[in-house]
């Protein structure tokens, strides 16, 4: 049985309980044989974080007021330069040089998944709903390993993500260009989601995300669903005029309001309301 829906999900803090990028970074520091403070001349992780925040605050200050959806999306799209600068710093420092898939897999065991996520996957499989994870995380190997360690084979859940580049011996080259996907911003996510739709004519997209970085695909989706109660995203929605409704108010039979998103606090709410609800 095939469904008319495709469920596309963000990874960090949507499927997972907390952000996991630091776990990917820790895998690299462990490979260097030390903690995240002094890995053979590679700067501590805090240095990369501080540089990113400084770049972001400077960009935010120079951009000016953002009081419309269009202006907010423009701001988020142009932030790709900040993300790329961060990646270049990491590549120049050689943080991921010599890392192996094994290090990433070991770190993936530490990932905590939000309760009820596997029940959504099972329900989608029963209904024939296509699945996909679209993430700006740095490693597809890491995400896939986390899923498989928790739930076994998940070949029916494609992971669209960046990847660390590995050489023929399976060691990191230090570069972060090992994937056919380059996902830095929500605009990149939205572009990929549109490609999924183009390959699956007649389907409708349900997108679940938790942050402002998900705003592009949330608004482009037929049904955009916010996971959790992240203050920054709620404040952004209020500032630019996006209505956030409880998922219980979703009527799948009526046209979606392009300025309305729906919210859930945990995965089970997606099974109680909307297209996945038991009839």
For 58-116, write each residue's pLDDT tens digit. Answer: 999 999 999 999 999 999 999 999 999 999 999 999 999 999 999 999 999 999 999 99
The 3-class secondary structure across the chain, one letter per residue, is CCCCEEEEECCCCCCECCCCHHHHHHHHHHHCCCCCCCCCCCCCHHHHHHHHHHHHHHHHHHHCCCCCHHHHHHHHHHCHHHHHHHHHHHHHHCCCECCCHHHHHHHHCCCCECCCHHHHHHHHHHHCCEEEEECCCCCHHHHHHHHHHHHCCCCCCCEECCCCCECCCCCEECCCCCCCCCCCCHHHHHHHHHHHHHHCCCCEEEEEECCHHHHHHHHHCCEEEEECCCHHHHHHHHHHCCEEEEHHHCCCCCCCCCCEEEEECCCHHHHHCHHHCCC
Find out whether 128 and 2 touch, Cβ atoms under 8 Å.
yes
pTM of the model: 0.93
Which position has the token pair 């049904």? 223
When pLDDT is cut at 50, 70 and 90, the band that residue 37 belongs to is very low
The full length of the chain comes to: 279
Question: Range of 135's domain?
Answer: 5-276
Q: Number of folded domains in the chain?
A: 1
For 176-231, write each residue's pLDDT tens digit. Answer: 998 899 999 999 999 999 999 999 888 999 999 999 999 999 999 999 999 998 99
Rg of the chain in Å (alpha carbons): 19
Which one has a higher pLDDT value, 173 or 41?
173
For 90-104, write each residue's pLDDT tens digit. Answer: 999 999 999 999 999
Q: What is the CATH number of the domain that holds 157?
A: 3.40.50.1000
Residue 192 φ then ψ, to 5°: -65, -40
Token code pair at residue 109: 């065991």
* pLDDT reading at 38 higher than 50: no
The most distant pair of C-alpha atoms in the chain lies apart, rounded to whole Å, by 59
């Amino acid at each position: 049985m095939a469904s008319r829906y495709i469920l596309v999900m963000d990874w960090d803090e949507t499927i997972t309980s907390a952000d996991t990028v630091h776990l990917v970074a820790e895998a690299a520091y462990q490979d260097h044989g030390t903690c995240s403070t002094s890995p053979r001349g590679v700067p501590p992780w805090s240095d990369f974080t501080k540089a990113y925040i400084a770049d972001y605050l400077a960009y935010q200050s120079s951009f000016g007021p953002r009081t419309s959806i269009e202006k907010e999306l423009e701001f988020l799209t142009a932030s790709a330069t900040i993300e790329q600068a961060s990646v270049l710093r990491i590549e120049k420092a050689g943080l991921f040089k010599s890392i192996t898939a094994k290090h990433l897999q070991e770190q993936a065991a530490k990932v905590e998944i939000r309760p009820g996520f596997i029940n959504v996957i099972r329900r989608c499989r029963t209904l024939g709903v296509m699945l996909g994870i679209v993430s700006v995380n740095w490693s597809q190997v890491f995400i896939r390993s986390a899923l498989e360690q928790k739930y076994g084979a998940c070949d029916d859940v494609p992971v669209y993500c960046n990847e660390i580049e590995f050489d023929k011996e399976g060691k990191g080259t230090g570069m972060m260009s090992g994937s056919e996907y380059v996902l830095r911003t929500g605009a990149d996510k939205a572009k990929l989601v549109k490609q999924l739709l183009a390959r699956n004519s007649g389907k409708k997209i349900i997108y679940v995300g938790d942050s402002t970085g998900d705003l592009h695909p949330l608004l482009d989706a037929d049904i955009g669903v916010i996971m959790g109660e992240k203050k920054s995203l709620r404040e952004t929605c209020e500032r630019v005029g996006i209505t956030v409704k409880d998922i219980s108010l979703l009527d799948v039979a009526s046209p979606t309001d392009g300025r309305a998103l729906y919210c859930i606090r945990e995965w089970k709410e997606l099974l109680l309301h909307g297209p996945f609800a038991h009839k």
